[in-house]
Amino acid sequence: MISDFNEIMSLNVKGMKKSAIRELLKLTNNPDIISFAGGLPDPKTFPVEELKEVVVEVLDEDSDKALQYGSTEGDKRLREIIVENYRSQGFDIQLENVMITTASQQGLDLLAKIFIDRGDKVIVGLPSYLGGLSAFNAYGAVPVGIEFDDHGMIAEKLEEALAKMKANGEKPKFIYIIPDFQNPAGLTMPEERRKKVIEIAKRYDVLIIEDSPYKELRFEGEEQKSLYALDNTGHVITMGTFSKIFVPGFRVGWIIAHPEITDKFVTAKQSADLCTSPFVQKIAAKYIDKGYYKKNLVKTIAIYKEKKEAMMAAFDKYMPEGVTWTKPEGGLFLFVTLPEYMDAEKLFVKAIEEKVAFVTGNVFHCNGEGRNTMRINFSYMDKESNLEGVKRLAKVIKAEMK
């Protein structure tokens, strides 16, 4: 046996960390625990009967291609559907702008592989999606966090950071933004701020990464134009996925970018998995073509809206004074801020004793802050469990307050 495995590990592996959320989920497998920790869709939204029908049709009509290797770029019909959908949202794109990924997490990993050298700086939000931070960290990136207000990343703070970096002879590889129902904060960036961010990014010649897994899960308020559609010059890369709006088990996502960048993604993906499963891509394409997708999305939105409203009412009723939370217009999450003297990691231990779980907010902060914050998911548990879970969580918080 090798005397010391660490001695032969790459720098990239040494920089990797296990997902804090995945590790937390192991602690919450107890069915008695009400878990707000994951970002899991409600299984009741999974269109099982329609998928049975579609799977049989794909096997009957197109098994030779569905069960064979596919192109790295992805199934042509599925890409055409994605192009049609985004064109209706104002995207100026063609087929060569789109590549299918094995969910959006692969897109983030390929993004990091393509752009990041060890020591490169990247701009992220405070807070930001843990999966993105993990992907960037694995390739040696140095994240620079930009503060949020109620509308997401603050444009003026972004400009200050970029100006300071320029003065020091530095330039970040990209600005990473989740503009719609941000994970973990649940916030949506208004269109005017999106325009400001684009203008700043262009002035400093920095690429924008728009991670958009939840955009179609809007319950209320006005839809905001995507950063890509507001730009349409190739200055933005948009990433999407079916995981939150269709079924996560398919692991189907996509990137939309300038063809020069898409070509690099194709090359990087070929060394990862050659192609995303042609079988699930063809199932997804046929499912959408049969009109089932839009119908099921309406049902999914209604389910999540009801859960979110019930949770909001429970927070209003049970949470003590001094605790605040975001009020998302869609998506899967809300973000809770406790009094500054409180520590969510210590609170987590007490919460598990009361059989309720959440994700501590510090894991979403690249600078180690956010110790008095937590992310709450409302999509997975049923409405009654959400209500009971909030009661238990409020009880724990009250007990720990000074």
Per cent of the chain over pLDDT 90 is: 91
What local confidence, expressed as pLDDT, does residue 18 receive?
Answer: 60
The hierarchical CATH code for the domain 5-47+294-400 is 3.90.1150.10
Residue 30: pLDDT band by 50, 70, 90 thresholds?
A: confident
What local confidence, expressed as pLDDT, does residue 31 receive?
Answer: 81
pLDDT digits (tens, 9 = 90+) for 107-126: 999 999 999 999 999 999 99
What local confidence, expressed as pLDDT, does residue 304 receive?
Answer: 97
Residue 25: pLDDT band by 50, 70, 90 thresholds?
A: low
Which residue ranges make up each domain of the chain?
A: 5-47+294-400, 65-292
pTM, rounded to two decimals: 0.94
Average pLDDT, the chain: 94
pLDDT digits (tens, 9 = 90+) for 291-316: 999 999 999 999 999 999 999 999 99
242-263 mean pLDDT: 97
Q: Which fold has domain 65-292?
A: Aspartate Aminotransferase; domain 2 (3.40.640)
Task: Out of 10-14, 39-43, 123-127, 157-161, pick the least confident.
Answer: 10-14
Per cent of the chain over pLDDT 70 is: 94
- How is residue 257 written in tokens? 């970018």
Residue 132: what residue type?
Answer: G
pLDDT above 60 (res 244): yes
Residue 67: what residue type?
Answer: L
